Amino acid sequence: MNIPLYPLRFEPIFQKRIWGGRKLANLTSTPLPDNDPIGEAWILSDRDDHASIVANGRLKGQTISQLMEHWPVPLMGKLAGHFSRFPLLLKFLDAQEMLSVQVHPSDQQTEYIPVGDHGKTEAWVVLEAGNESRIYAGLKPGTTFDNLQQSIINGTVTDHLAYFAPKSGDAVFIPARTVHALGSDIVVFEVQQNSDVTFRLYDWNRIDAKTGKSRALQIDQALACIDFAQGETKPIVPVLEKKTPVQRERIFKCEHFNVWRLQGLLPFTVGEIDIPRILVCLEGNGKIEYDDVVFTIGKGDVFLLPASVGICTFNPCCIVNLLEIAIP
């Protein structure tokens, strides 16, 4: 099919989670399903079991997987052929309760990664936080394999975990091999490697009401993957790159993704030549102008700008808070 690509909007994929809530109803225009706790909205996903579906234009109904297969060069530009699937997974998380204390392997720890999958470095932007919200990230000084293992037996794992009280706007980088958890009334945006490999170290002695049982732990794998040399993790300090016509600050830069936060009211440009970019609207709304066509973007929407689209103009309709994400 010879269909020119254009700014592509995707529908969220909602995931029920034992620790979730209903706050994502305030973030996405798509109604939440049922009355169960919804912990995650996967807003751009190229997983075999959960592939995002295009919601606009001539390619409506196509999955991101089909785009990668049939339009690799227009979609990925000079990155075409580097990835068998789209390399990032984007989510909104509503953690009304604490997530399990967990760790993800790095790409180098292949013995702990299923064939065809990857390690998992991720990052969070805090969108809402309550008075009791906590982010656990990294280990306190003096934590070793032996005393952390003993703390699991004693039920004192949190004595070894570094933590802080997050606030809206905080940007937190979680490299693979970092012990982490978050929760107690917090909503975040998450960008990560396209991986679903998670090892639970501790789950707060929680019982799943539907099964009457505790959730499975993977203690041996988790302990083997932890970087015990890494200290505590705090919110990063953004790098201000420009103030006009939009305030543009880089909040994450690593080998897997770069993320900028753009805030302003005047028109500005987004996208890049021959490289795909992703836009996630956190606050406000506006219009993406491309090839004499206007694409409306509102709070909670995600748009993929294919490499063939290049640079576009973004016209805010009010003060907008936008994330722009690049694949290095």
For 239-326, give the CATH class: mainly beta
Give me the pLDDT at residue 42, please: 98
How far apart (Å, rounded) are the C-alpha atoms in residues 103 and 227? 10
Buried b (16+ CB within 10 A) or exposed e, 317-328: eeebbbbbbbbe
Question: Where in the chain are the domains?
Answer: 8-225, 239-326
Q: Quick check: 153 and 160 in contact, CB under 8 A?
A: no
User: 308 — phi, psi (to 5°)?
Assistant: -70, -20
Is 200 considered catalytic here?
Answer: yes
Annotated catalytic residue, options 9, 85, 177, 200: 200
Peptide linkage before 245 cis (omega within 30 of 0): yes
Give me the pLDDT at residue 88, please: 98
* Assigned CATH for 8-225: 2.60.120.10
Give me the pLDDT at residue 277, please: 98
Give me the pLDDT at residue 138, please: 97
How far apart (Å, rounded) are the C-alpha atoms in residues 137 and 80? 34
Is 239-326 the same fold as 8-225?
A: yes
pTM of the full predicted structure? Answer: 0.96
Give me the pLDDT at residue 1, please: 65
Q: What is the pLDDT along the chain (328 residues), one digit of tens a residue?
A: 678 999 999 999 999 999 999 999 999 989 999 889 999 999 999 999 999 999 999 999 999 999 999 999 999 999 999 999 999 999 999 999 999 999 999 999 999 999 989 999 999 999 999 999 999 999 999 999 999 999 998 989 999 999 999 999 999 999 999 999 999 999 999 999 999 999 999 999 998 888 899 999 999 999 999 999 989 999 999 999 999 999 999 999 999 999 999 999 999 999 999 999 999 999 999 999 999 999 999 999 999 999 999 999 999 999 999 999 999 9
